């Protein structure tokens, strides 16, 4: 009987770290579970743990306290796939390390303890705070454990077994230390629901619904600005707005507007969507989309919804900018103020550009069809499975 491969995934999500990091790791985790691996998430704190539970919509086994994991983390042997919960989803385990996600070196003691209890066959890391010396430290703590790293900033050339940069036109020559690299949109780790989403989407003659998502947070209040702008645009007077409520409280993320009813009173066309599980279906129901930069842009590409993007973080700026170079999306720029520019002015200018793009697309059915075709040619929504196959093909993981 073959030993079940154990894969650790080290990732976090909160008001500072976009929820897309956990989302893409969940997609890879699902693909690994489907292929018989045992997946254990390692998060820094309870905030990340709570967000992961909320996003996953499934039961996570294991205590949040590392010292109580001796039973839950007993490796054992199994020839089958992971257990499933009552909803049919694979069960996954989660350990809260109680460390500082800003400082990867603080993970050291906790990882050493857990390594003795449940040594992994592979470790996948998703963190912008990792530096070259952190990978060197990990190799000493976890001897003979292959390490993978998801990167889209190209700020560090890590000496890892598997490097994943699924951005459009990634700087391939920058990465020299990794043993193997997976580059480009075909490795975008999307949820399984997006694998067939494109075939179900058709560009309609009339724009009736616009998807609006800022990701896990909205620190610059972009949702309110964009909704206000759409309300004042005659061409968009009859459209409905499908607003995906941010999952993490922090800054002006729309939560206070929702509670007061101010947004609904001001524009009754707004449909509020919370904790969306079937995002592909919601996207397919929309004719245009506004999205912050990140993996959501690839989800929209897989479906084929003409999209205008903006960024509000360095990684989003690079990611959305490179994707815009392919012609698949339009990126109007970054909402953060530059130099002496005031934050209000920067965000307002970006919102004006977004509404202008939406109005132009509403009158251009042929143009929207061309954009949709270009988007769907970029990714097929099967990247998570490809990454899982690569992880499981590594000699150590095979056993």
Q: Judge if 6-190+382-398 and 195-378 fold alike in CATH terms.
A: yes
State the Cα–Cα distance between residues 3 and 216, nearest whole angstrom.
Answer: 37
What per-residue confidence (pLDDT) applies to 329? 97
- Fold of the domain built from segment(s) 6-190+382-398: Rossmann fold (3.40.50)
Give residue limits of the domains in the chain: 6-190+382-398, 195-378
State the Cα–Cα distance between residues 128 and 315, nearest whole angstrom.
Answer: 9
Tell me how far CA of residue 389 lies from CA of 23, 32, 35, 56, 152, in angstroms. 19, 8, 8, 21, 21
What per-residue confidence (pLDDT) applies to 266? 65
What per-residue confidence (pLDDT) applies to 247? 72
Contacts by 17-20 with C-beta closer than 8 Å and gap 24+? 17/48, 17/101, 17/128, 18/215, 18/216, 18/217, 18/292, 18/294, 18/313, 18/315, 18/316, 19/51, 19/55, 19/215, 19/216, 19/217, 19/247, 19/248, 20/215, 20/216, 20/294, 20/295, 20/296
Diameter over CA atoms, the chain: 67
Q: What is the pTM of this model?
A: 0.83
Structure tokens at 174: 């920058």
CATH class of domain segment(s) 195-378: alpha beta
State the Cα–Cα distance between residues 62 and 292, nearest whole angstrom.
Answer: 34
Split the chain (399 residues) into runs of 10 and give each run's mean pLDDT.
Answer: 87 90 95 96 95 80 47 38 42 91 96 94 96 95 96 92 95 96 96 86 96 90 92 94 79 44 66 90 97 94 97 88 94 82 74 97 96 94 96 80
Please enumerate in sequence order all residues whose Cβ is within 8 A of that of 196, keeping only pairs 6 or more positions apart, or say none.
381
């Amino acid at each position: 009987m073959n030993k079940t491969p154990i894969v650790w995934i080290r990732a976090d999500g909160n008001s500072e770290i976009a929820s897309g990091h956990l989302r893409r790791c969940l997609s890879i985790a699902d693909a690994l579970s489907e292929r018989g691996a045992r997946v254990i998430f390692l998060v820094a704190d309870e905030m990340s743990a709570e967000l992961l539970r909320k996003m996953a919509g499934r039961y996570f086994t294991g205590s949040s306290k590392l010292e109580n994991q001796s039973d839950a983390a007993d490796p054992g042997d199994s020839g089958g796939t992971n257990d499933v919960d009552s909803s049919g989803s694979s069960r996954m385990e989660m350990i809260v390390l109680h460390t500082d996600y800003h400082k990867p070196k603080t993970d050291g003691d906790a990882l050493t303890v857990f390594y003795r209890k449940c040594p992994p066959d592979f470790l996948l890391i998703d963190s912008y705070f990792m530096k070259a010396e952190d990978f060197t430290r990990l190799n000493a703590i976890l001897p003979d454990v292959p390490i993978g790293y998801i990167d889209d900033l190209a700020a560090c050339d890590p000496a890892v077994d598997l490097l994943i940069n699924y951005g459009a036109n990634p700087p391939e020559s920058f990465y020299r230390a990794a043993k193997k690299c997976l580059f480009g949109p075909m490795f975008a780790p999307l949820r399984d629901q997006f694998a067939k989403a494109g075939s179900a989407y058709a560009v309609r003659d009339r724009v009736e619904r616009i998807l609006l998502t800022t990701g896990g947070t909205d620190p610059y209040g972009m949702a309110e600005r964009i909704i206000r702008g759409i309300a004042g645009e005659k061409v968009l007077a009859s459209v409905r707005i499908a607003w995906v409520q941010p999952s993490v409280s922090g800054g002006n993320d729309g939560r206070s507007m929702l509670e007061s009813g101010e947004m609904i009173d001001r524009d009754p066309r707004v449909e509020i969507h919370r904790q969306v599980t079937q995002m592909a279906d919601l996207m397919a129901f929309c004719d245009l989309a506004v999205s912050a930069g990140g993996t959501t842009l690839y989800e929209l590409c897989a479906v084929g919804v003409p999209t205008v993007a903006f960024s509000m973080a360095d990684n989003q700026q690079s990611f959305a900018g490179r994707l815009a170079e392919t012609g698949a999306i339009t990126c109007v720029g970054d909402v953060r103020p530059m130099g002496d520019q005031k934050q209000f002015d920067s965000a307002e200018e970006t919102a004006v550009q977004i509404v202008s793009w939406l109005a132009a697309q509403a009158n251009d059915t042929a143009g929207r069809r061309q954009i949709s075709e270009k988007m769907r040619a970029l990714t097929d929504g099967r990247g998570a499975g490809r990454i899982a196959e690569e992880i499981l093909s590594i000699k150590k993981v095979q056993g």
